């Protein structure tokens, strides 16, 4: 039997504090989710903003394979807008929701249970006129009266809901209790066999995956989750944790998902890069340390027999060994082959540019690994049309005072600016770039990492710039960390300009 995976990275995941993805980034994630083979992609909340609407519409037009869902409150306006956004999808879906707990009904909705029941049934019937594939979520279900939940689920199934979702909206449940609620609903909703039972858990107590698994053992058939577990507050159930549990513990659960496990690592890195949400090193499955062994006893054991200390093989999730792949003398053909093995299909122009960068890197760095190649390619892919291009960068730093001269080109015109800073060379570079672009933006985060080890390692810089109440992420890669910093800043500046102009 298969467990269905409903991915909400682009909706609940995008509700993570500080995350804001543009259309191109959302489309890239959605295409990767299709490669991962999720059953449903919840692409956004179309009525929330014109940007959300446009992204859901684009995903519906371009992404095939999974069903594409749009979220809607239980109102006609929301449902109309959601349908408008998803209607061109190969498999369109409307997901409508209404709160059912006492505290939500009384204080937030200011509606009686009877009114909530009527609105829910009406909303599902209205959505059903558009599409056969309708999900209804009882928001804050875990804190709702179980008998009222049964009543509302019976009503919405009768009105045509094909999936009923039981969220633990505030992450309050524990596994035995949550499993018990699912069983109660399964046993007490007379028409339950006409709908898929779905669960949606939040991770406030760190129990989201455990609660989802308990739900499946008690009759749920679908898990709603996000890549890397991102989402509101402490996030949602992490897709990779659920998929790998079913795979690794098939002997216990006897269940599988249709997830293409080899795409997990790539999807996780992509989501982390585009959202700017770092993955904690000890995060299960996808953290940097998830397959690392530090103690001598463990290392010795793994060398003798991998399964002494590893319950999963890193290759299952598509983690390649960090082997040396190419060098200075490798040709375009070998380069292209290697990229294809890593899962990248580049357009001719992107390939030419990536190959040029690979050759430049090979001149500076002896051993080029898969990680280096991924960093270059991800950097190429994240480029936006360059309004400004850096054509010269000169930095000196003595006795605590740094001076930077930057030349940037805009429409063929070269603009030079210099700046001094006691805050270091990167600060001076950013001041000079601000003078050139004259954008009133604020650096809210700066992060630097080495892609591999060694003194010739590539440096990868990620910056976040706040502009007009939105946050823009920029990324830059180079063996020279000041150059990587300037590139990252320029990438974010260009993203602002593309949106603004
Ligand atoms: O957490 C929640 O209740 C939700 C619903 C909209 C499904 O995200
Ligand atoms: Zn949620």
Give tens-digit pLDDT for 99-137: 999 999 999 999 999 999 999 999 999 999 999 999 999
> Of 275, 308, 340, which residue constitutes the final position of a domain?
275
Q: Do 72 and 209 have their domain in common? A: yes
Strand 67-73 versus strand 459-467 pairing type: unpaired
- Give domain status of residue 324, yes or no: no
**Which pLDDT value is given to residue 325?**
67
Q: How far is CA 434 from CA 116, 388, 414, 447, 491, in A?
A: 52, 12, 15, 19, 13
Q: Do 25 and 41 have their domain in common? A: yes
Measure the CA–CA gap between 199 and 138, rounded to whole angstroms: 10
CA-141 nearest atom, ligand 1: 3
Q: Do 405 and 469 have their domain in common? A: yes
**Which pLDDT value is given to residue 321?**
58
Q: How many A from CA of 207 to the centre of ligand 2?
A: 14
Q: Do 134 and 193 have their domain in common? A: yes
- Give domain status of residue 347, yes or no: yes
Q: Of 458, 462, 461, which is closest to residue 480 (Cα–Cα)?
A: 458
Q: Do 205 and 81 have their domain in common? A: yes
Q: How many A from CA of 95 to the centre of ligand 1?
A: 10
Structural domain of 368: 332-381
Residue nearest to atom 2 of ligand 1 (CA): 169
- Give domain status of residue 112, yes or no: yes
Q: Each residue of 352-402: pLDDT tens digit?
A: 888 998 888 888 887 788 888 888 888 777 777 789 999 999 999 887 899
Tell me which of 97, 108, 199, 222 to substitute to probe ligand 1's pocket, judged by most ligand atoms within 8 Å of the beta carbon: 97
DSSP 8-state code for residue 410: E
Rounded to 5 degrees, what angle do the CA atoms 457, 461, 464 make? 170
Q: Each residue of 168-214: pLDDT tens digit?
A: 999 999 999 999 999 999 999 999 999 999 999 999 999 999 999 99
Q: Do 295 and 370 have their domain in common? A: no
Q: Do 92 and 185 have their domain in common? A: yes
**Which pLDDT value is given to residue 310?**
86
Residue nearest to atom 1 of ligand 1 (CA): 169
Measure the CA–CA gap between 35 and 241, rounded to whole angstroms: 18
Split at pLDDT 50, 70, 90, the class of 52 is: very high
Give the number of other CB atoms < 10 A from CB of residue 338: 17
Q: Each residue of 288-339: pLDDT tens digit?
A: 889 877 777 777 787 888 888 889 999 999 986 555 567 788 888 888 888 8
The residues lining ligand 1, judged by C-beta closer than 6 Å to any ligand atom, are: 12, 97, 137, 139, 165, 167, 169, 200, 202
**Which pLDDT value is given to residue 227?**
98
- Give domain status of residue 280, yes or no: no
Q: Do 442 and 372 have their domain in common? A: no
Determine the number of helices (DSSP H) and then strands (DSSP E) in the chain: 17, 17
Q: Do 25 and 68 have their domain in common? A: yes
Q: Do 107 and 207 have their domain in common? A: yes
- Give domain status of residue 284, yes or no: no
CATH code for the domain in which residue 162 is found: 3.20.20.70
- Give domain status of residue 326, yes or no: no
Contact 2, 13 (CB under 8 A): no
Q: Do 339 and 190 have their domain in common? A: no
**Which pLDDT value is given to residue 323?**
58
Q: How many domains does the chain have?
A: 4
Reading across the β-sheet that carries 470-478, which strands appear in turn? 442-450, 459-467, 470-478
CA-15 nearest atom, ligand 1: 8
Q: Do 134 and 195 have their domain in common? A: yes
Q: Each residue of 437-449: pLDDT tens digit?
A: 999 899 999 999 8
Q: How many A from CA of 141 to the centre of ligand 1?
A: 9
- Give domain status of residue 471, yes or no: yes
- Give domain status of residue 327, yes or no: no
């Amino acid at each position: 039997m298969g467990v269905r995976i409903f991915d909400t990275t682009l909706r609940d995941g995008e509700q993570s504090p500080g995350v804001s993805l543009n259309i191109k980034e959302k489309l890239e994630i959605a295409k990767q989710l299709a490669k991962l083979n999720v059953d449903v992609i919840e692409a956004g909340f179309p009525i929330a903003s014109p940007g959300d609407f446009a992204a859901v519409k684009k995903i519906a037009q371009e992404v095939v394979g999974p069903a594409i869902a749009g979220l809607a409150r239980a109102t006609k306006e929301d449902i109309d807008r959601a349908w408008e956004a998803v209607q061109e999808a190969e498999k369109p879906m409307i997901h409508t929701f209404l709160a059912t707990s006492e505290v939500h009904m009384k204080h937030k909705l200011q509606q009686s249970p009877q009114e909530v029941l009527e609105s829910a049934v009406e909303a599902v019937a209205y959505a059903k006129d558009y599409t056969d594939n309708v999900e209804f979520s009882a928001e804050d279900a875990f804190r709702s009266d179980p008998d009222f939940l049964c009543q509302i689920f019976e009503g919405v199934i009768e009105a045509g809901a094909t999936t009923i979702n039981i969220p633990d909206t505030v992450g309050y449940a524990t596994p035995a209790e949550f499993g018990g609620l699912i069983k109660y609903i399964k046993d007490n909703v007379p028409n339950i066999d006409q709908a898929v039972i779905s669960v949606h858990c939040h991770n406030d107590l760190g129990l989201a995956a455990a609660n989802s698994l308990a739900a499946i053992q008690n009759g749920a058939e679908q898990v709603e989750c996000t890549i890397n577990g991102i989402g509101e507050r402490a996030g949602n159930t992490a897709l990779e944790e659920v998929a790998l549990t079913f795979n690794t513990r098939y002997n216990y659960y006897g269940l599988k998902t249709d997830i293409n496990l080899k795409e997990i690592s790539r999807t996780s890195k992509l989501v982390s890069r585009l959202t700017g949400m770092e993955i904690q090193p000890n995060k299960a499955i996808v953290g940097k340390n998830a397959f690392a062994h530090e103690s001598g006893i463990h290392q010795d054991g793994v060398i003798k027999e991998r399964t002494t200390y590893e319950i999963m093989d890193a290759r299952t999730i598509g983690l390649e060994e960090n082997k040396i792949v190419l060098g200075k003398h490798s040709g375009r053909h070998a380069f292209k082959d290697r990229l294809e093995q890593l899962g990248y299909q580049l357009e001719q122009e992107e390939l030419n540019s990536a190959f040029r960068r690979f050759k430049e890197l090979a001149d500076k760095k002896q051993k080029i690994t898969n990680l280096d190649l991924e960093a270059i390619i991800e950097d190429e892919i994240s480029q936006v049309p360059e309004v400004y291009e850096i054509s010269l960068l000169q930095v000196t730093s003595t006795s605590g005072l740094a001076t930077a001269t930057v030349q940037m080109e805009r429409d063929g015109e070269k603009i030079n600016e210099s700046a001094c800073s006691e805050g270091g060379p990167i600060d001076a570079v950013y001041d000079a770039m601000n003078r050139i672009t004259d954008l009133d933006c604020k650096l809210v985060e700066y992060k630097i990492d080495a892609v591999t080890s060694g003194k010739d390692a590539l440096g990868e810089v990620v910056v976040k710039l706040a502009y007009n109440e939105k946050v823009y992420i920029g990324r830059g890669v180079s063996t020279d960390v000041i150059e990587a910093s300037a590139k990252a800043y320029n990438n974010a500046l260009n993203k602002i300009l593309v949106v603004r102009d």
